[in-house]
């Protein structure tokens, strides 16, 4: 019989609960409609695209109050994520 290493998901009632929990994890997660969803890791090609886009945006936005942001920290854009309900 195969042995499962999957553990039960913790009970997280709020976005604040999720943010406190996810800080202690090695993997990246999203909190979608009250459920944890493990996120896939990025590839080298994805990383190259991100760096190139940020460099182009930074140049284009120079002199304006705007700036590109590459944060992947949990909750970096909580204000705009409706998926966190």
d(CA 21, CA 54): 29
For the segment 19-40, what is each residue's pLDDT rounded down to a tens digit? Answer: 888 888 888 888 888 888 888 8
- What local confidence, expressed as pLDDT, does residue 85 receive? 43
User: What pTM was estimated for this model as a whole?
Assistant: 0.45
Give 32's contacts (C-beta < 8 A, 6+ positions apart).
Answer: 83, 84
Averaged pLDDT of the chain: 77
Domain that holds residue 26: 15-84
| 9 located within any domain | no
| 6 located within any domain | no
| 10 located within any domain | no
Q: Which two tokens stand for residue 58?
A: 């930074």
| 5 located within any domain | no
| 4 located within any domain | no
Domains contained in the chain, number: 1
Q: Is the pLDDT of residue 3 over 60?
A: no
């Amino acid at each position: 019989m195969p042995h499962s290493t999957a553990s039960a998901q913790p009970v997280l009632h709020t976005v604040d609960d999720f943010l406190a929990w996810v800080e202690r994890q090695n993997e990246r997660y999203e909190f979608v409609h009250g459920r944890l969803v493990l996120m896939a890791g990025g590839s080298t090609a994805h990383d190259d695209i991100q760096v190139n886009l940020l460099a182009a945006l930074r140049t284009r936005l120079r002199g304006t109050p705007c700036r590109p942001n590459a944060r992947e920290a949990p909750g970096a854009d909580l204000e705009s994520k409706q998926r966190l309900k």
